[in-house]
Amino acid sequence: MADIGVIHSSHWGAFRARVDDGRFVEAVPFEADGRPADLLENMPGAVHADNRVLRPAVRRGWLEGRSRDEAPRGDDEFVEVDWDTAIDLVAREITRVHDEHGPASVYGGSYGWSSAGRFHHAQSQLKRLLAASGGYTGSTGTYSHGASSVILPRVIGYDANVADSHTWDEIAENTETWLMLGGVPARSMKVESGGMGAHRGVPGFEKVLRSGVRAISVNPIRGESPGGDAVEWLPIRPGTDTALLIGLAHTLLEEGRTDLAFLDAHTVGFDRFAAYLRGETDGTEKTADWASAITGVPADDIRTLARDLAGTRTLITATWSLQRAEHGEQPHWLTVVLAAMLGGIGRPGEGFGIGFGSEDGVGSTRQPFAVPQAPKLRNPLAGTEIPVARIVDALESPGAEYDFNGERRTYPDIRLIYWAGGNPFHHHQDLMRMQAAWQRPDTVIVQEPWWTSTAKRADIVLPATTSLERDDIGAKSNDTWILAMKRAIDPVGEALDDREILHRIATRLGCADAFDEGATLRSVYEKSRADAAGHGIELPDFDAFWEQGYARVPARAPHSRMRELIDGVPVPTPSGKIEIFSETIDSFGYDDCLGHPAWFDKHEDVAGAAYPLRLISHQPTTRLHSQMDVGALSRAAKVAGREACRMNPDDAAARGIADGEVIRLFNDRGACLAGVVITADVMPGVVALPTGAWLDLDGESGLERHGNPNVLTADRGTSKLAQGPTAQTARVEVERYAAEPPRVEAFDLPRLSPR
């Protein structure tokens, strides 16, 4: 008998879980969501897929103490064990590493999105265990906006990626011209970390278009934003927005169109930047023609655009993709600087906006109180984190010093890696290099529902339930809903909840009290309710919330520090103003991030010039990262059984490639296969292969068979300042794959020996 389904939530939205005969058969969109995401279609098939981890498993070579030359991680058999044995092995190994090397040798950065459930949030719970047991080396920053989150606080005094924004209504009502660097992609707005009761991004953007705002998408790809031809397309070479912004700034300066009063009152250092624009610092004047040669945008279009921006009420926004690239600090810094030159900062619908279109909740309201989340425990080794995307450098070079945001730090000697709720063999760059470095630590422990590429490269794999198999709460600070995520089905196989697994390990380590701290779903909710009450917001008590399945929370307009700035409230930068020139950054003496924003040639363009095509590896349309790639929607979108790679007709014709064929993308770092989609939506010279196809390396040739772009991307920090990831800067060549395409084995089980 099918029922109507308990309420549940996911990063891609709330739904009701329809269950038939103990199996989750359909995710029915939540009734309040007028624009549900099709990603829900992946869920039932993925939750019941054949490649779930059913029992704890240990790599045979690790169990038998054989060397990794003989039995490498990722190419070995697994032996299934019972839970007691697995917990015992993990606890003994943590203790051994602590005793022999100290807690800094345990790497618990464990970056990853896990599920929308905030209580069972795997990474948070793992960090509690590792903190309670003596400490660990953590990670700092994100793959999402690693460069921006370091540069913006130095420029405007806060991280605009996670705070303060214009609302869709403010833009609809006030903006005349919206320059959207990276567009406002419909795809990305399917998702919000922590989920949502109802999607608001696409309707918000459509309202803006209906109000007559001129929206210009600066993007190497056409049609990424909702609204079709109502959005103007300005094609640009990937990785060159910095040059466009500098060219626009030069035109404003040259033609006397800058708001000098604003610059004078609210910024410092414009004269230093102006000297750079005029070429006084390096002998190159940064004219529109200079910018045109780098960006591929005609110089006259740059000049006309600058005049249009100066002549209307203008908003400039930038997606996160722009800064996930070499020198990624620059485009977001310049977004602020150009907006300052136009003088509209602080007025509703004018100035700058960061991350519009990068997630659904940007441009929406924000809660003043702390929404429910797993309680944090302080890491005794706080302050020693490595920038999250420098993990392979750390594995390769223990003890080496490196620069980070004005500090000199030292990489720890990592002996044990524990990952829960993330998939580094999806999310990191240059995966061939990572695969080699991954052999170095003594032990790798992975807690996962599925046999992912990371689980297959672990020594101990602990099967975690999916959110459908346990009770949890979904929430995000910019949503107006708090959602019950009710258990819909029994655990698959012998899977246990993340918290239960970690609690058992804590018990074995003798730190269960510190780990548990008496926290329950109820206590976490009630803590949030009390905090809300302190802000005059009344939430139902836990029982009423759970019974109803959700709480609706009144909406509040986001706080605007920029509005306060023009009203005379200083921002927390050294000058109290917007820093067009930063004495602090200048004092670091970095050659790859100066005191003012600037254009830098890309290492990848110089060293990779043999590879003529620029690869964009944007987020996937049919899933979240690598999650549920085995699901129905994701698999239906594959071409020739592989990830679809978009390519311009001219580039395809020059290589004798026909639509739907299998292609091989390659550079010095690696090679992968993909199915090609030929479309003029992608500008010439660019190929677009989304992230997240499960990594599928042929053991002998190293060829990636499934279309994972991270065998091609570069693993190099954005700069010494932020050390963010640079996934969007990669040069490749493409050829027709003439041989018989190999079978994709990404979803196969590893060799398993039953206990």
Ligand X SMILES: Nc1nc2c(c(=O)[nH]1)N[C@H]1C(S)=C(S)[C@@H](COP(=O)(O)OP(=O)(O)OC[C@H]3O[C@@H](n4cnc5c(=O)[nH]c(N)nc54)[C@H](O)[C@@H]3O)O[C@H]1N2
User: What residues act catalytically?
Assistant: 111, 113
CB of 28 to ligand X, least distance (A): 20
Q: Which is nearer to ligand X, 495 or 585 (CB)?
A: 495
Q: Which is nearer to ligand X, 328 or 348 (CB)?
A: 328
Measure CA of the first residue to CA of the last residue in the chain; give whole Å: 35
Selected range binding ligand X among 283-291, 367-375, 420-428, 545-553, rule: CB under 6 A? 420-428
Q: Does 364 bind ligand X (CB under 6 A)?
A: no
CB of 145 to ligand X, least distance (A): 7
**Which one of Mo ion, ligand X, none is in contact with 358 (Cβ closer than 5 to 8 A by kind)?**
ligand X
CB of 221 to ligand X, least distance (A): 4
Distances (CA, A) of 56 to 50, 88, 494, 578, 747: 16, 12, 8, 53, 18
Cβ neighbours of residue 249 closer than 8 Å, sequence gap 6 or more: 273, 277, 286, 334, 337, 338, 341
d(CA 451, CA 50): 9
Characterize the bridge pairing of strands 416-420 and 106-107: parallel
Q: Quote the crossing angle between the two packed helices 241-254 and 288-295, to the nearest 10°.
A: 170
Tokens encoding 170: 């403010």
Q: Does 187 bind ligand X (CB under 6 A)?
A: yes
Selected range binding Mo ion among 141-149, 261-269, 462-470, 676-684, rule: CB under 5 A? 141-149
Q: Does 427 bind ligand X (CB under 6 A)?
A: yes
Q: Is 601 exposed, middle or buried (0-12, 13-18, 19+ CB in 10 A)?
A: exposed
Selected range binding ligand X among 28-36, 532-540, 613-621, 693-701, rule: CB under 6 A? 613-621
Q: Does 323 bind Mo ion (CB under 5 A)?
A: no
Q: Which parts of 144-163 interact with Mo ion (CB under 5 A)?
A: 144
Q: Which is nearer to ligand X, 109 or 112 (CB)?
A: 112
CA-nearest of 743, 747, 701, 749 to 77 is: 749
Cα Rg of the chain, angstroms: 25
Tokens encoding 398: 């223990």
d(CA 332, CA 217): 16
Instruction: Tell how far CA 341 is from the center of its chain.
Output: 30
Give the DSSP letter of residue 427: H
Answer for which of 109, 349, 361, 709 binds ligand X (CB under 6 A) is 709
Q: Which is nearer to ligand X, 122 or 288 (CB)?
A: 122
Answer for which of 9, 167, 188, 379 binds ligand X (CB under 6 A) is 188
Answer for which of 430, 448, 651, 661 binds ligand X (CB under 6 A) is 448
Q: Which parts of 714-733 interact with ligand X (CB under 6 A)?
A: 727-728
Q: Which parts of 498-527 interact with ligand X (CB under 6 A)?
A: 498
Q: Does 694 bind ligand X (CB under 6 A)?
A: no
Characterize the bridge pairing of strands 6-8 and 460-463: unpaired
Size of the site for ligand X (CB under 6 A): 63
CB of 655 to ligand X, least distance (A): 22
Answer for which of 29, 141, 204, 239 binds ligand X (CB under 6 A) is 239
Instruction: Tell how far CA 553 is from the center of its chain.
Output: 27
d(CA 203, CA 727): 30
Q: What would the x/- binding string for Mo ion be over residues 620 to 659, using CB under 5 A?
A: ----------------------------------------
Q: Is 408 exposed, middle or buried (0-12, 13-18, 19+ CB in 10 A)?
A: exposed
d(CA 583, CA 116): 41
**Which one of Mo ion, ligand X, none is in contact with 305 (Cβ closer than 5 to 8 A by kind)?**
none
CB of 113 to Mo ion, least distance (A): 7
User: Are 560 and 167 within 8 A, CB to CB?
Assistant: no
Answer for which of 124, 619, 667, 719 binds ligand X (CB under 6 A) is 619
d(CA 21, CA 47): 15
Residue nearest to Mo ion (CB): 144
CB of 201 to Mo ion, least distance (A): 15
Answer for which of 79, 122, 395, 593 binds ligand X (CB under 6 A) is 122
Q: Does 190 bind ligand X (CB under 6 A)?
A: yes
Answer for which of 170, 359, 604, 715 binds ligand X (CB under 6 A) is 359
CA dihedral 314, 320, 321, 324 (to 10 degrees): 130
d(CA 713, CA 563): 39
CA-nearest of 746, 733, 647 to 693 is: 746
d(CA 118, CA 193): 10
Selected range binding ligand X among 51-59, 114-122, 656-664, 745-753, rule: CB under 6 A? 114-122
Q: Which is nearer to ligand X, 124 or 447 (CB)?
A: 447
Selected range binding ligand X among 154-162, 416-424, 431-439, 510-518, rule: CB under 6 A? 416-424
CA-nearest of 530, 525, 467, 515 to 115 is: 467
d(CA 486, CA 471): 5
**Which one of Mo ion, ligand X, none is in contact with 89 (Cβ closer than 5 to 8 A by kind)?**
none
User: Are 57 and 446 within 8 A, CB to CB?
Assistant: no
Q: Does 185 bind ligand X (CB under 6 A)?
A: yes
Q: Which is nearer to ligand X, 321 or 528 (CB)?
A: 321
CB of 49 to ligand X, least distance (A): 11
CB of 110 to ligand X, least distance (A): 9
Strand residues in 459-518 grouped as ranges (E): 460-463, 472-475, 481-485
**Which one of ligand X, Mo ion, none is in contact with 430 (Cβ closer than 5 to 8 A by kind)?**
none
Instruction: Provide long-range contacts, Cβ within 8 A and 24+ apart, for 212-215.
Output: 213/171, 213/172, 213/175, 213/176, 213/177, 213/178, 214/176, 214/177, 214/178, 214/312, 215/178, 215/180, 215/184
Tokens 């999310």 sit on residue:
427
Answer for which of 251, 423, 573, 667 binds ligand X (CB under 6 A) is 423
Q: Does 463 bind ligand X (CB under 6 A)?
A: no
d(CA 117, CA 503): 18
**Which one of Mo ion, ligand X, none is in contact with 467 (Cβ closer than 5 to 8 A by kind)?**
ligand X
Phi/psi of residue 529, nearest 5 degrees? -60, -40
Answer for which of 10, 42, 51, 114 binds ligand X (CB under 6 A) is 114
Q: Which is nearer to ligand X, 201 or 344 (CB)?
A: 201
Q: Which is nearer to ligand X, 403 or 715 (CB)?
A: 715
Selected range binding ligand X among 113-121, 285-293, 376-384, 634-642, rule: CB under 6 A? 113-121
Selected range binding ligand X among 297-305, 316-324, 587-595, 657-665, rule: CB under 6 A? 316-324
d(CA 735, CA 255): 47
d(CA 450, CA 471): 19
Q: Which is nearer to Mo ion, 146 or 226 (CB)?
A: 146
- Helix (H) / strand (E) element for 176: namely none
Answer for which of 191, 231, 394, 585 binds ligand X (CB under 6 A) is 191
Q: Does 321 bind ligand X (CB under 6 A)?
A: yes
- CB count within 10 Å of CB 378 equals 9
User: Are 345 and 351 within 8 A, CB to CB?
Assistant: yes
Q: Which is nearer to ligand X, 250 or 625 (CB)?
A: 625
Q: Which is nearer to Mo ion, 242 or 319 (CB)?
A: 319
Q: Does 713 bind ligand X (CB under 6 A)?
A: yes
CA dihedral 81, 84, 90, 92 (to 10 degrees): -120
Residues that bind Mo ion (CB under 5 A): 144
Residues that bind ligand X (CB under 6 A): 112-115, 120, 122, 143-144, 181-183, 185, 187-188, 190-191, 218-221, 224, 236, 238-239, 241, 319-322, 324, 358-359, 420-423, 426-427, 447-450, 452, 464, 466-467, 498, 616-621, 624-627, 691, 709-710, 713, 727-728
